[in-house]
């Protein structure tokens, strides 16, 4: 009987998942799921918790801590008034949304009771348990969550500057919602004329590793819609030896690129650009290669912000150390040398996941460990590397790619939404459900 | 570890549609459903001629629902990629058709009066 009841409960849960996928038709992948909101009473404490950075990860952490702690001093440090919904940038750069689609205000997501210090983070001193702001104010903490994100290092490409986006055939989706719009206009002009289009990614870790792949697909689609595909040559150049870090996904994208006629070049790292001559220079194992272009999408190298890079928090060696990503335990986001410091979001030096979907899973794990520490208990919450990427393969279709640290495909809707199929349902999710889910996440509601 | 909290669905839909439109739609669905049953009780059954005509209107409602979904997602029938996409199209059509049928029948019955009594002859 007990077994039967358990099976019924399992059936009900499965049915709920089916409802989620089929009836709502919006899915949202594991973005809709959560580690389960704690129903236990809030823990009383006078602990001082500082959150450096009020982007997706910082705001979500503040909301969740405010829910789970009573009496704690929670301080968010970030100067930015505007909040940017970065997963929307690709849709803006596809010409489907206006720049305003991705812009809201930080203030609307800051919980009552959370103290928002509108200044930059100038210094992090984990030995002294304090953060120094851009005005020189020192803020002491008992627990620190670093959520300062990834810095776009356009200067890492010789000759490149943000101000060049929209000129000389240069596009770059990442810089801002307006830059994404300008990128659309530049790409659209290319789609009218044709010529050589260059796409690619940096050698560093980057947020949303699927974005450059998507933008190549979108450009191909727009060229086809305008009947100009035969006028254009599309090249995708990656410093790595594959198209994506998850082999099964890389293989699928390889097949799709072959189908779409996108030429792939591995071991090509964009090092310089000559805007006047519209020429890009790539470092390859056999020397530099120059390629002339009519249109290029630049994804800048990325690194942690200076305050993190200059602190003791990054990995001491290796590429992650050079790029400044924090040395955290990949299972619980706790710093390996400073146990009262956690790193969540893009700044975390973990193998997978600089995406909003990862934030959704990083934050509750880190928060659970902090709350357990404060309450004098232990937490068994674990982050498994979950990342999600609705990989747009043309306007109207996407593949719902979800994976973990071990390169396994994690399926939110097994047997229902196939991860490696180009589906309308996955596109509908991206267009309709992701942003509301993301915003609910910031408020600590999802 | 993975749990699906149904309240998350509600929160996401509120975020998607805005609180005003969301609760207006919920209220609309509740009012239409209650009014439909009220009409059924009032008329002591379904007025089949009226219901069949309402179903025809419902077909347009289903088609409109699909068109609307495609419009707001910048996509079309060419983007149908696999079986689950057809399931979604059918689900959207069904939701639109059923909703419109009930709405049409209810409004018609409220405005158009009672089901006529069969001839006593």
Q: What CATH number should be reported for the domain holding residue A366?
A: 3.50.50.60
pLDDT at residue A29 tops 90: no
Beta carbons of A173 and A90 less than 8 angstroms apart? yes
Distance, first Cα to last Cα, chain A: 34
Give a yes or no: residue B121 inside a domain: no
Q: A385, A401, A436 — which closes off a domain?
A: A385
- The Cα of A277 is separated from the nearest Cα of chain B by a number of Å equal to 36
Q: Give the residue, A174 or B117, on which the prediction is more confident.
A: A174
CB atoms within 10 A of CB A375: 15
Instruction: Say yes or no for a CB contact (<8 Å) between B1 and A17.
Output: no
Instruction: Say yes or no for a CB contact (<8 Å) between A22 and B74.
Output: no
Q: Give ipTM to 2 decimals.
A: 0.87
A222 and A277 belong to one structural domain: yes
Give a yes or no: residue B48 inside a domain: yes
User: How far apart (Å, rounded) are the C-alpha atoms in residues A229 and A195?
Assistant: 10
Lookup: tokens for A306:
């200076």
Give a yes or no: residue B65 inside a domain: yes
Beta carbons of A215 and A252 less than 8 angstroms apart? no
In order of A67, A251, A259, A341, the CA distances from A72 in angstroms are 11, 48, 56, 16
Q: CB-based burial of residue A156 (10 Å sphere; 0-12 exposed, 13-18 middle, 19+ buried)?
A: middle
Chain B residues whose CB is inside 8 A of the A431 CB are: 72-75
* Count of domains for chain A: 3
Could you give the count of Cα atoms lying within 13 Å of A407 in the half-sphere of its Cβ?
A: 8
Segment B103-107 shows an average pLDDT of 96
pLDDT single digits (tens) A185-225:
999 999 999 999 999 999 999 999 999 999 999 999 999 99
Contact residues, chain A to chain B, C-beta under 8 Å: 13, 16-17, 20-26, 28, 30, 32-37, 96, 382, 394-397, 416-418, 421-425, 427-428, 431-433, 435-437, 439-440, 445-446
A161 and A279 belong to one structural domain: yes
Give a yes or no: residue B63 inside a domain: yes
Q: A236, A271, A302 — which closes off a domain?
A: A302
pLDDT single digits (tens) A93-147:
999 999 999 999 999 999 999 999 999 999 999 999 999 999 999 999 999 999 9
What H or E segment, with its residue span, contains residue A292? strand A287-292
A71 and A207 belong to one structural domain: no
pLDDT of residue A26: 39
Chain A residues whose CB is inside 8 A of the B99 CB are: none
**Choosing among A361, A381, A425, A426, which should be mutated to test the B contact, i.e. which has the most B CBs within 10 A?**
A425
A277 and A313 belong to one structural domain: no
Percent of chain A clearing pLDDT 90 (strictly above): 88
CB atoms within 10 A of CB A207: 20
A161 and A289 belong to one structural domain: yes
A172 and A272 belong to one structural domain: yes
Give one DSSP letter per residue of A137-195, joined into a string. -EEE-SEEEE----EE-GGGSBT--GGGTTSTTEE-SSS-HHHHHHHHHHHHHHHHH-E
Domain span at residue B29 reads: 6-112
Give a yes or no: residue B120 inside a domain: no
pLDDT single digits (tens) A346-371:
999 999 879 999 999 999 999 999 99
Q: A341, A368, A385 — which closes off a domain?
A: A385
Domain span at residue A166 reads: 154-302
User: Which residue from A355, A416, A413, A415 is spatially nearest to A386, judged by alpha carbons?
Assistant: A355
* Count of domains for chain B: 1
CB atoms within 10 A of CB A84: 17
Give a yes or no: residue B118 inside a domain: no
Beta carbons of A219 and A188 less than 8 angstroms apart? no
Beta carbons of A231 and A268 less than 8 angstroms apart? no
A38 and A73 belong to one structural domain: yes
DSSP bridge partners of A143: A49
Give a yes or no: residue B47 inside a domain: yes
């Amino acid at each position: 009987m007990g077994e039967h009841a358990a099976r019924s409960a399992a059936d009900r849960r499965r049915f709920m998942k089916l409802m989620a996928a089929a009836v709502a038709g919006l899915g949202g992948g594991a973005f809709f799921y959560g580690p389960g909101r704690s129903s236990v009473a809030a823990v009383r404490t006078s602990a001082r918790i500082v959150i450096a950075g009020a982007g997706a990860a910082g705001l979500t952490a503040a909301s969740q801590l405010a829910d789970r702690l009573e009496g704690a001093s929670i301080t968010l440090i970030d100067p930015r008034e505007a909040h940017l919904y970065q997963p929307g940038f690709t849709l803006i750069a596809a010409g489907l949304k206006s720049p305003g689609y991705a812009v809201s205000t930080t203030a609307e997501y800051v919980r009552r009771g959370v103290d928002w210090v509108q200044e930059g983070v100038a210094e992090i001193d984990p030995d002294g348990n304090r953060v120094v702001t851009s005005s020189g104010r020192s803020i002491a903490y008992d627990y620190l969550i670093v959520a300062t994100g990834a810095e776009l290092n356009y200067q890492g490409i010789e000759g490149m500057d943000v101000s060049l986006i929209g000129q000389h055939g240069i596009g770059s989706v990442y810089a801002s919602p307006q830059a994404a719009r300008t990128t659309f206009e530049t790409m659209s002009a290319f789609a009218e004329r044709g010529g050589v289009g260059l796409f690619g990614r940096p050698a560093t870790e980057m947020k949303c590793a699927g974005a450059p792949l998507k933008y190549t697909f979108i450009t191909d689609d727009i060229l086809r819609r305008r009947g100009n595909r035969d006028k254009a040559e599309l090249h995708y150049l990656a410093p790595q030896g594959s198209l994506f870090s998850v082999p099964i996904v890389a293989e699928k994208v390889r097949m799709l690129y072959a189908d779409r006629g996108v030429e792939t070049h591995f071991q090509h790292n964009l090092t310089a650009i000559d805007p006047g001559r519209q020429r890009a220079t790539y470092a390859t194992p056999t020397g530099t290669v120059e390629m002339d272009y009519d249109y290029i999408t630049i994804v800048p190298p990325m690194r942690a912000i200076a305050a993190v890079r200059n602190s003791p928090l990054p990995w001491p060696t290796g590429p992650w150390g050079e790029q400044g990503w924090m040395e955290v335990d990949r299972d619980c986001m706790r710093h390996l040398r400073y146990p009262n410091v956690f790193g969540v979001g893009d700044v975390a030096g973990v193998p997978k996941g600089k995406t909003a979907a990862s934030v959704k899973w990083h934050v509750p794990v880190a928060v659970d460990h902090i709350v357990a520490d404060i309450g004098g208990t232990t937490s068994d919450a674990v982050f498994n590397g979950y990342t999600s990427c609705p990989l747009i393969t043309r306007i109207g279709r996407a593949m719902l790619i979800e994976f973990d640290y071990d390169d396994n495909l994690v399926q939110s809707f097994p047997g229902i939404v196939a991860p490696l199929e180009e589906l309308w349902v996955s596109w509908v999710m991206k267009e309709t459900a992701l942003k509301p889910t993301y915003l609910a996440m910031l408020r600590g509601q999802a | 570890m993975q749990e699906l909290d149904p309240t998350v669905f509600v929160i996401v839909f509120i975020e998607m549609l805005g609180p005003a439109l969301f609760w207006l739609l919920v209220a609309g669905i509740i009012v239409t459903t209650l009014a439909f049953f009220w009409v059924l009780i009032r008329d002591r059954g379904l007025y089949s001629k009226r219901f069949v005509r309402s179903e025809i209107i419902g077909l347009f409602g289903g088609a409109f629902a699909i068109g609307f979904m495609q419009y707001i997602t910048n996509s079309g029938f060419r983007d149908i990629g696999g079986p689950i996409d057809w399931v979604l199209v059918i689900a959207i059509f069904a939701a639109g058709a059923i909703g419109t049928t009930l709405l049409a029948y209810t409004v018609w019955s409220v405005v158009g009066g009672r089901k006529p009594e069969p001839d006593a002859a």
